Amino acid sequence: MRYLIGFSYKGTNYHGWQVQPNEVTVQSVLTSALSLVLRQEVELTGAGRTDAGVHAKRMAAHFDFDGEINDFKALTNKLNSLLPLDIAVYDLKRVADDFHARFDAKSRTYKYYITRKKSPFLSDLAAKMTFPLNVERMNEAAAALFDYTDFTSFSKVHTDTKTNNCKIMLAEWSEEEDCLVFTVKADRFLRNMVRAIVGTMLEVGKGKMSVEEFRAVIERKDRCSAGTSAPAEGLYLCDVEY
């Protein structure tokens, strides 16, 4: 039987989501806890993967189990008692045997948080940037994203993806409490895509790049023409929709 697990994590202490040799990752820690509770080795397939230091408010993964789970709440409580404080399970349910956490996702939403001042409560949870930013121009650049589908310029090179096309459904900058926040929703994302977009839009906000030049970066389909990736600590996977 196949099950879908929903969870969140603070990525500061992890080398990203995906299992890697000799590294502590969210996937490895969660898989170990789940296998221990179920008394059976399981494999988790995530809705996507996050880089080292990136956080997730709502992440999902599926796994197969040779048995029926009757009490989802009890299992969730057991998992949370085993998991470290920076990983928490919030949902568990049965899904169809052909369900796939990655390929069945209709959209994913990320947010990037920037704090404009030093805060002990946002350390490792938002990128600190004190230089002046023209948010209006940054929103003009964000609106330009809707006119394109090929985002090669914002992707890590030498990835195993068959296409660099993505459909952007939402892209905007806003203020949330003490942070400047970029929200972006798409059917799929490329490796490092959000951080590369944010880093390039910051060049627009600082007045070092015009909106027209931002468009030209996308049209070149060359990662070298885009800005430096924004720091990992500001990025959150906020939702996965099926």
Q: Which two tokens stand for residue 213?
A: 């030049």
- Name the H helices within 61-111: 72-82
156, 189 Cβ separation under 8 angstroms: no
164 three-class SS = coil
* CA nearest to 73, candidates 88, 86, 92: 92
**Which residue's entry shows tokens 């001042």?**
117
What is the rounded CA–CA span in Å between residue 158 and residue 37?
Answer: 38
Q: Which two tokens stand for residue 44?
A: 């988790």
* Residue 51 annotated to the active site: yes
What is the rounded CA–CA span in Å between residue 111 and residue 183?
Answer: 4
For residue 86, give Cα distances in angstroms to 1, 14, 28, 44: 28, 10, 14, 18
What is the rounded CA–CA span in Å between residue 51 and residue 208?
Answer: 27
Q: Find the catalytic residue in 51, 91, 97, 239.
A: 51
Q: Encode burial over 78-95: b for 16+ CB neighbours within 10 A, e otherwise.
A: bbeebbeeebebeebeee
Catalytic residues: 51
